Structure 1
């Protein structure tokens, strides 16, 4: 089992099947006895499906579907700037506050990005005056650090 929480639940059932009581199982796994009681009860009533995590409703999003779509389009259009730089979470907070009159913290921006299907991967920024030709020319300069490119010493 790859899910760690499910693995602990299965280990608890394994302890109980091997003869340990709920208190001993809880002590061995460093969890509360009440949790073990709940898992055993759910297992007897629903089988292995009773041990799986149920979806949690959580707090509803402050933005509606149309606003989320508009935000997604804004992120898509502004994530890569032609003059260099990148979109910052603080910029998104300001945009949401200005456009939708809804307050978000920077921490919730990352969660919102994940919900919209984006991942917050930062790349190296590109300076507006950066030149590929100058970089290639710089790479060709002999600096003496290459062991395959010996530098002659002059007396």
Structure 2
């Protein structure tokens, strides 16, 4: 038989009853009243009857109360199963995700859960199911996100310099061309939409292979699109070709959408029809070219992805006129959602300096 355990001496029965009246935890109040009876000279059996528990449970309450005071009588969270991965293994997993797979060693160009599970086994001899690994990866803050396009021959230093010097370039335009007007930052790009269309992911039963209509004809049109993320504005034309004439028409359309008291800085890539000597730039627009081979700096690329995934993919266009109608409908739908333009298009380096 175990030796008797005395209650700590810095409390008494009145103290515990007072705490029992104040607490909102019913279980804690019941335990406090049971131990108050012992303080008042009652036996452990009396406390057990009052608390509707066994003698051993009362002993456990006394141990917890002596160690942590009244807080020791509050139900704690069960510790649960020990995690499969240690802190060091989680850190190594995060590093592997950031680094990405090496194709000739890992056999894949992007990590899947099964690949990460195999990597953990080879590195640490730890076997983790895909469901558990998914929870671990998510707990580390990772999600499966769409990657931005990046040219393989990009000059990284030029991209960093463009971002760093952007406030100075805006200030120069404001001083030389804007003449005291408000500056609006616009981005411009083109997208080809055609009958040979894309197929996007869709919800379907696990194990099934969903289908989507796909055309092999080659009629197409081009959306000339521009957005002002800070204001949620957009301006576009649907044209049959990408050339200087089409670009001039688009500049006129952008100029119409610039506020009367504003001057627009139009950021776009260095395509031939963007830099042509025959380009007629309106007085309220200044063109600022992006560094070569840096499409990820242009948020209109993400606008095209959003429009294709929601309105322009998984369909068959009957004719060129049908392509134009769908392109116009998609762009008007986007214009009706200025918060979406702001969400997709804002960049810290362009709007928060």
Same fold? TM cut 0.5: no
TM-score between the two structures when normalised by the length of structure 1: 0.44
* Greater share of helix: 1
TM-score between the two structures when normalised by the length of structure 2: 0.24
Question: Which protein, 1 or 2, shows the higher relative CO under an 8 Å CA cutoff with sep ≥ 6?
Answer: 2
User: Greater CA radius of gyration, 1 or 2?
Assistant: 2
* Greater share of strand: 2
